[in-house]
Amino acid sequence: MYSDILVHRTLKCVGSCGLSSSLDDEVGFPADIKLESTNDCMPDEDKDFKVCVVCGEKASGFYFGALVCLPCKSFYIRCTKDGEPTLLVSVTGIVISPNKGRIRCQYCRLSTLPHGGMCRRNFSEEDLWKTRDIIVGEKSCQINPRNRNNCRYCRYQKCISAGMSREAIKMGRPKSQMEILHNSPLHIHHHFVIVVVRSCLPGITYLRPYFTTAITCQ
């Protein structure tokens, strides 16, 4: 039994946006949990805007355990259809999935082209695999709705870090708690939700969606 119930959390602001002052409502914790919110910077007009935690487009629902848009949902399905992929970035800037897929990664291409000097027209599958060890690239693309198709590697990594998982499937009509969360606005730049849980309410079950992206302790 805990006499004091504290759930600390912080929304880490990436970029120039602001966080709102009403985090409690945003993340949708039960009303009977006392919260200490430290944030003050989200624009009012974005408060009701639910965004995909992968690319920032308007979100459509909880797919594979994360609040994402339909394109990113489809992307995740494709990526994990035959098991977890091991996407590689070639010297030519081509991201290779082992079986078939390839797509250009503009970011990684820029950073890796000098090493190989190959041009896209001439690359062959064989060459890609030969140069396998020097092709790691930056692996740090910023994903947004416009460039999300530029780098499959980083987009997929973002799916993973957002908590998407075949294990996290939640089917059917959501519980009322989830409906609250479903209406929670998350600004496009607020991809990292840092939650510090000191102690929680006895007997309350905190479903995973409350921890929108990850749980980080300070």
Partner DNA sequence: CAATCAGGTCACTAGGTCAT
Partner DNA sequence: ATGACCTAGTGACCTGATTG
Among 146, 175, 179, 183, binds a copy of itself (CB under 8 A): 146
Q: Which residue has the tokens 């082209």?
A: 113
Q: Residue 177's binding partner, choosing from a copy of itself, DNA, none, with beta-carbon cut-off 5 to 8 A by kind?
A: DNA
In the numeric block, which tokens belong to residue 118? 């190959």
Among 138, 161, 177, 178, binds a copy of itself (CB under 8 A): 161
d(CA 56, CA 79): 19
Pairing of strands 192-197, 7-12: antiparallel
Task: Return the sign of the alpha-carbon dihedral for residues 155, 159, 160, 165.
Answer: negative
Among 39, 163, 184, 187, binds a copy of itself (CB under 8 A): 163
Measuring CA to CA, how many Å separate 173 from each of 57, 151, 176, 206? 23, 34, 9, 17
What residues numbered 128-167 form the site for DNA, per CB under 7 A? Answer: 148-149, 152, 155, 166
Tell me how far the alpha carbon of residue 60 is from its chain's centroid. Answer: 14
One-letter amino acid for residue 99 of the chain: N
What residues numbered 36-95 form the site for DNA, per CB under 7 A? Answer: 60-65, 69-75, 77-78, 81
Q: Residue 60's binding partner, choosing from a copy of itself, DNA, none, with beta-carbon cut-off 5 to 8 A by kind?
A: DNA
Number of residues lying near DNA (CB under 7 A): 39
Closest listed residue to residue 74, CA positions, set 133, 149, 3:
149
CB closer to DNA out of 51 and 72 = 72
CB closer to DNA out of 42 and 52 = 52
2 binding a copy of itself? (CB under 8 A): yes
CB closer to a copy of itself out of 130 and 140 = 140
d(CA 214, CA 154): 17
Binding site for DNA (CB under 7 A): 60-65, 69-75, 77-78, 81, 97, 100-104, 120, 148-149, 152, 155, 166, 169-177, 179, 182
